Amino acid sequence: MNLIIYLIAGAIVGYVASRIMGTNSRQGLLLDIVVGVAGAFIAGYLLTPIFKIGTINDAITLPTMLMSLAGAVLLLFVLRLLRGGGRRRRR
């Protein structure tokens, strides 16, 4: 049962992060879940030591959801930078 709740929370976080970053039209539910869960891990390693707030790995509360959202937005931002921002190059 905890796994299902964790996946639902990851899907919500991933969906909101993809809406914030404008990538929602390119990804579906499965990728939203992956982004949300990966964002929680990134937040756990990078942001939790700074802000002293857990992620959805610890408990599912509003502060932990927001911390996981910050990690997911950070993940999408870095992926956008690595892909070149999706801009077309002029020739």
- The runs of H, that is alpha helices, within 22-86 are 29-42, 48-51, 62-82
Mean pLDDT of 75-91: 73
pLDDT digits (tens, 9 = 90+) for 19-66: 898 887 677 788 888 888 888 888 888 888 888 887 777 788 888 888
- Residue whose tokens read 């910050």: 70
Q: Considering the entire predicted model, what is its pTM?
A: 0.81
Q: Using 50, 70 and 90 to split pLDDT, how confident is the model at 89?
A: low
Contacts of 85 (CB under 8 A, 6+ apart): none
